[in-house]
Amino acid sequence: MNETLMRYMVMAQYAAVDLAARLKKPARGQGMVEYALILGLIAIAAIVAVKVLSNNAQAAFNHIGNCVNNAQTPTPPGVTPTTGC
């Protein structure tokens, strides 16, 4: 074989061994990325929960306000209130 070709083959072999050794090492930044992904998912879940619960909470407070307003006007005896309170 040609001596130059042999050098390139040896260099390629060393590069492959070096790459394999680097791939086996644990990545230091991996944990930070995982924490960032978890934090992002928690933030998205919190935003969705606030959006969903805000409509329900607003409806509940409106219902309570209507009940309080209707409770201030006396209902005649024997008449059932129709507000659902």
pLDDT (tens digit per residue) in 13-51? 777 777 777 777 666 666 788 888 899 999 999 888 888
What length does the chain have?
85
CA distance 53 to 51: 6
Across 7-11, 19-23, 31-35, 74-78, the highest mean pLDDT is recorded for 31-35
CB atoms within 10 A of CB 66: 13
Q: Where are the domains of the chain?
A: 3-72
